[in-house]
A = this chain, B = another copy of it.
Amino acid sequence: RSGEMAKSTQLVDNEVFRAYATYAAIVLLKMMLMSVVTAYFRITRKAFVNPEDTASFGKGDSAKKYLRTDPDVERVRRGHLNDLENIVPFVGIGLLYALSGPDLSTALLHFRIFTGARILHTFAYLIPLPQPSRGLSWAVGYAVTFSMAYKVLKTVLFL
């Protein structure tokens, strides 16, 4: 049983893998926070999509008027979807990258830049900041993930 334990934790003994796990957890938590921000705007803007969510406002037309879209809610939802489209590939490709034996300093550079870029992207989307803030922060995160994918394919390619 202690042998099993040792096996299960050996990845965690590796510094590149620990760095990956740290930054992957941070960006996934950041993505999850978008759900809370959406709920916050739905409640404060009184803008819901499911009839059962407005039942506490009464019945009939008094509740129906809260079944509507709100620009702030839609903006957060677009930011959340953009996170799914970008953070999920980072987490997947980042795992393969961490296992492909990169230098620790190079790996940290990738993880830190991606994480910073996605946090900036969220602020740029939600405030919103004038373009090209959002576009650039998206492009930086995208380029980091591409760079990791290139390293993965160069190291492991087996078609």
Contact = CB atoms under 8 A, between A and B. Distances in A.
Contacts of A13: 4, 7
A interface bracket (residues with beta carbon within 8 Å of B): 35 or more
B8 A96 contact: no
B100 A9 contact: yes
Nearest to A10: B7
A15 B159 CA distance: 10
19 contacts: A4-B13, A7-B14, A8-B16, A9-B101, A19-B159, A21-B156, A22-B152, A24-B93, A24-B96, A25-B93, A25-B152, A34-B85, A35-B138, A35-B142, A52-B128, A55-B130, A56-B131, A80-B85, A88-B92
